[in-house]
Amino acid sequence: MKSVLSCIQPTGDMHLGNYFGAVKNWVDLQKDYKCYYGVVDYHAMTMPYDIKKLRNNTWELIFNLLAVGVKAENLFVQSLIPEHSELGWIFNCFCSYGQLTRMTQFKDKSSQVSESGSDKYISVGLLDYPVLQAADILIYRADYVPVGKDQEQHLELTRDIAGRFNHSVGKEYFVLPEGLYTETPKIRSTADPLRKMSKSAGEKHYISLFQDEARIRKQIKSAVTDAGDAVEGKMSEGVYNLFELLKISGGAQAHESLTHDYNAGNLKYSDLKAATADQLVLLTDQFKDQKSDVVKNKKDIKYQVKQSSAEIRKRAQETLREVKDLVGLLNVKL
Residue 74 has phi, psi (to 5 degrees) of -95, -5
One DSSP character per residue, 198-258 reads -GGG-GGG--BTT--HHHHHHHHHT--S-SS--BTTB--HHHHHHHHHHHHTT-HHHHHHH
For residue 314, indicate whether it is catalytic.
no
CB 294 within 8 A of CB 287: no
Closest CA to 134 of 102, 94, 168, 97: 94
Beta bridge partners of 77: 39
In the set 24, 199, 288, 324, the catalytic residue is 199
- Identify whether the C-beta of residue 319 lies closer than 8 Å to the C-beta of residue 83: yes
Question: Which is catalytic among the residues 53, 71, 196, 324?
Answer: 196
Q: Based on the residue annotation, tell me whether 149 is a catalytic residue of this protein.
A: no
Cα atoms in the Cβ-side hemisphere of radius 13 Å centred on 199: 11
SS3 of residue 175 by DSSP: coil
- β-strand partners of 321: none
Q: Is 196 a catalytic residue?
A: yes
Can you say how many angstroms the Cα of residue 182 is from the centroid of all Cα atoms in its chain? 14
Of 109, 186, 288, 324, which residue is the catalytic one? Answer: 109
Q: How far is CA 104 from CA 94, 101, 108, 130, 201, in A?
A: 20, 8, 6, 11, 20
Catalytic residues: 109, 196, 199
